[in-house]
Amino acid sequence: MASDSKLLQTLQQNPFVLAPMAGITDHAFRSFMREMGSSVVVTELVSATGIEYQSKKTLDLMSYDEGQRPIGIQLFGEEPEIVARAARFSQEKGADFVDLNFGCPVPKVVKKGGGSAILRDLDALRTMVSTVKKAIDIPLTIKIRTGWDSESRNADEVCRIAADEGVTWVAIHGRTRAQAYEGQADWDYIAQVKAKAPLPVLGNGDILTPDQAVRRMRETGVDGVLIGRGALKNPYIFRDALSLWRGEQRLELDRNFGRLYQSLAEKIQAQCSEQISQIQLRKFAAWFATGYPGAAAFRKAIFQSGSISETMEKSLDFFGAISLSAQEDTSSERFLMGGHG
Ligand SMILES: Cc1cc2nc3c(=O)[nH]c(=O)nc-3n(C[C@H](O)[C@H](O)[C@H](O)COP(=O)(O)O)c2cc1C
């Protein structure tokens, strides 16, 4: 079980962290991304109420294995006591830390007072954080947006409250709730908050390349960065960012893309039913293909494939062929413009 200082030490050694993404950062993908260099991993948002009712679907989201450590379980909910019990349960399940989702903009979650809704009521936020913190001995982290809307950005106040209540770090997605996924993440604002924050801050939003990850670290002074969608376009981003950050010459990495995909495929098939495996295998292949020659035709072909073996065969052919090609810059294209944080 990680202590506060152990978790921070991990971050100091490697500040590049996979951002939680519902339906994507599941058991298999977290294992894969830890192998690919993400410093720590966090589950997608897990409903505290679902844990209260011991819903199988909810509990499945919490499954992990030893290779994923340090592993955090991200919780969302409205009732502090219920979230606190869910946090305690996460600790009993062996999680290294608990992360609270205060960033989800999705109406279904926000309407009930979950996710980013709490950014409008900082007394409620304090109560939530302190109630959960008291219930656990493992570290507690939170993930927020810059504020509810552009008139009420309050990440600095949230950081002060979090520090008072013993939170280990605050991860800030540099958009307001009102922005959803539009516009650009505001890294100037993240830098301002970091400069005054009495606790470690992780910045997040729109990092697509290893160079950008390192530049954000250097320019803003944050203690770490979360990378979400960028890891779907470039699964090598963590390893490359870390070697750049450490000032190492770019490692001659094994760029055998086919083998990489095969390794993810094995993890997916070990965890998921045949039907879900087929969906996940196609999704990841389609994302990893971004910016490579022939990506559009490849996507069409795999979404028409009738079986896992056909998807695998087509994907291995494609990834085998692109290993030496350069990836085009696709940063101006819209890509996964919705999610829970
Ligand atoms: C499909 C999708 C699902 C997401 N699910 C979650 C989630 O479960 N919990 C959370 O805190 N953030 C979630 N997010 C937000 C990401 O963690 C991250 O804050 C956001 O994507 C911005 O970072 P990026 O530009 O590096 O992707 C999700 C984002 C996407 C695109």
Residue 313 has pLDDT above 80, yes or no: yes
Last residue of a domain, one of 216, 245, 274: 245
Q: Where are the beta strands (DSSP E) in 287-326?
A: none
Q: How many CB atoms lie within 10 A of CB 195?
A: 11
Three-class SS state of 320: helix
Q: Residues 115, 105: contact at Cβ < 8 Å?
A: yes
- 313 C-alpha to ligand 1 centroid (Å): 30
Judgement on whether residues 308 and 238 belong to the same structural domain of the protein: no
Residue 159 has pLDDT above 70, yes or no: yes
Residue 253 has pLDDT above 60, yes or no: no
- pLDDT tens, 207-247? 999 999 999 999 999 999 999 999 999 999 999 999 999 99
- Residues with catalytic roles: 104
Judgement on whether residues 292 and 179 belong to the same structural domain of the protein: no
Give the model's pLDDT for residue 322: 85
Placement of tokens 């770019």 in the chain: 250
Distances (CA, A) of 292 to 87, 233, 286, 287, 298: 42, 10, 11, 10, 10
> Phi/psi of residue 74, each to 5°?
-95, 125
Higher pLDDT, 50 or 306: 50
- 149 C-alpha to ligand 1 centroid (Å): 18
Judgement on whether residues 183 and 310 belong to the same structural domain of the protein: no
Burial class of residue 147 (count of CB atoms within 10 Å of its CB; 0-12, 13-18, 19+): buried
Three-class SS state of 307: coil
Judgement on whether residues 194 and 277 belong to the same structural domain of the protein: no
Confidence of residue 256 (pLDDT cuts 50, 70, 90): confident
Please indicate, yes or no, if residue 339 is contained in any of the structural domains: no
- Crossing angle for the helix pair 257-271 and 27-35, to the nearest 10 degrees: 150
Please indicate, yes or no, if residue 337 is contained in any of the structural domains: no
Secondary structure letter of residue 167 according to DSSP: -
Judgement on whether residues 303 and 226 belong to the same structural domain of the protein: no
Residue 90 has pLDDT above 60, yes or no: yes
Please indicate, yes or no, if residue 291 is contained in any of the structural domains: yes
Distances (CA, A) of 29 to 149, 303, 308, 338: 32, 20, 18, 19
State whether the beta carbon of 61 lies less than 6 angstroms from ligand 1: no
Structure tokens at 211: 């160079």
State whether the beta carbon of 206 lies less than 6 angstroms from ligand 1: yes
Please indicate, yes or no, if residue 184 is contained in any of the structural domains: yes
Confidence of residue 321 (pLDDT cuts 50, 70, 90): confident
Higher pLDDT, 335 or 68: 68
* Cβ contacts of 106 within 8 Å, gap of 6 or more: 115, 338, 340
> Phi/psi of residue 29, each to 5°?
-70, -35
Give the model's pLDDT for residue 3: 84
- Distance between CA atoms of 209 and 240, rounded to whole angstroms? 9
Q: What is the mean pLDDT of residues 24-52?
A: 98
* 88: CATH: 3.20.20.70
Number of compact structural domains in the chain: 2
Judgement on whether residues 192 and 49 belong to the same structural domain of the protein: yes
Confidence of residue 254 (pLDDT cuts 50, 70, 90): low
Last residue of a domain, one of 245, 270, 287: 245
Residue 91 is which amino acid? Q
Cα angle: 84, vertex 228, 283; to 5 degrees: 110
Judgement on whether residues 214 and 261 belong to the same structural domain of the protein: no
Q: Residues 281, 308: contact at Cβ < 8 Å?
A: yes
Judgement on whether residues 20 and 72 belong to the same structural domain of the protein: yes
Judgement on whether residues 81 and 154 belong to the same structural domain of the protein: yes
Which domain covers residue 272, as residue numbers? Answer: 257-322
Judgement on whether residues 294 and 206 belong to the same structural domain of the protein: no
Judgement on whether residues 318 and 220 belong to the same structural domain of the protein: no
Pocket probe for ligand 1: among 21, 144, 146, the residue whose CB has the most ligand atoms within 8 Å is: 21
Percent of the chain predicted with pLDDT > 70: 98
Q: What is the mean pLDDT of residues 180-197?
A: 96
- 21 C-alpha to ligand 1 centroid (Å): 5
Please indicate, yes or no, if residue 331 is contained in any of the structural domains: no
Q: What is the mean pLDDT of residues 320-327?
A: 82
Q: What is the mean pLDDT of residues 130-151?
A: 98
Nearest ligand 1 atom to the CA of 44 is 8
Judgement on whether residues 102 and 162 belong to the same structural domain of the protein: yes
Please indicate, yes or no, if residue 280 is contained in any of the structural domains: yes
Please indicate, yes or no, if residue 268 is contained in any of the structural domains: yes
Structure tokens at 12: 């100091």
- Distance between CA atoms of 231 and 214, rounded to whole angstroms? 15
Residue 252 has pLDDT above 60, yes or no: no
Last residue of a domain, one of 198, 220, 245: 245
Percent of the chain predicted with pLDDT > 90: 89
Confidence of residue 198 (pLDDT cuts 50, 70, 90): very high
The pLDDT mean for the chain works out to 95
Of the listed ranges 15-29, 187-201, 320-334, the one predicted with least confidence: 320-334
- 175 C-alpha to ligand 1 centroid (Å): 11
